[in-house]
Chains A and B, each alone.
Chain A
Amino acid sequence: EDKVVQSPLSLVVHEGDTVTLNCSYEVTNFRSLLWYKQEKKAPTFLFMLTSSGIEKKSGRLSSILDKKELFSILNITATQTGDSAVYLCAVEATPGSARQLTFGSGTQLTVLP
């Protein structure tokens, strides 16, 4: 059974801190790993990673994938209160021609002023 584990489950930091969120996975037919940010509503897409060692960056957020060790990290530098959210990691597997995302339980990030 495909499995995605995120750590820590929750994190409380102060504005300006840097945080690293972890995601490890065990899936068959791996295609990609995705990061989402979920505030009060639906998850919003952050990154999709398919290749090891290539960092994806968007402003203060960056992410990298290690396909040998089966994990990814999401870094947020100079955190702001608006970064408070649940960060979800999902792994896409492709059984046959179909697509399926398996989500981790998320990391609840709280950024205090």
Chain B
Amino acid sequence: KAGVTQTPRYLIKTRGQQVTLSCSPISGHRSVSWYQQTPGQGLQFLFEYFSETQRNKGNFPGRFSGRQFSNSRSEMNVSTLELGDSALYLCASSLAQPSSYEQYFGPGTRLTVT
């Protein structure tokens, strides 16, 4: 079974630009969550999508948004990039069933904002 895939793997953008990151979950997984990982803040929850609906959102500004498609693939968008947005962005998928809530992470997208 293929794992979680994320594209692109690396990205360099300049301040003020916007970026879209993509995540394809494990086949059959309906829940996709996004996290930001930085050396200073660790892993922080961005949002979770389930059946094309955002179920929960972390404490991030409105510049961070996302969506999920009918095939469970998800995208996240960051507008008006700031230097502090430089981070590893991880997505994780899960079956989201009571017996199987563990999340499996993709390899991440390393975003550098200059």
Binding site for B on A (CB under 8 A): 31-32, 34, 36, 41-45, 48, 88, 90, 92, 95-106
B101 adjacent to A31 (CB under 8 Å)? yes
Which of A41, A92, A101, A104 gathers the greatest number of chain B CB atoms within 10 Å?
A101
Could you give 14 example pairs across A and B, Cβ below 8 Å?
Answer: A41-B107, A42-B90, A42-B105, A42-B106, A42-B108, A98-B56, A99-B48, A99-B55, A99-B94, A100-B33, A100-B45, A101-B103, A103-B35, A105-B42
Contacts between the two chains (Cβ within 8 Å), count? 61
Proximity bits, B25-59, A CB within 8 Å = 1, else 0:
00000010101000000111100100000011010
The 9 closest A-B pairs by CB, nearest first: A98-B56, A98-B55, A42-B105, A103-B43, A48-B102, A105-B42, A43-B105, A100-B56, A42-B107
Instruction: Write out the residue numbers on chain A whose beta carbons fall within 8 Å of the beta carbon of B96.
Output: 99
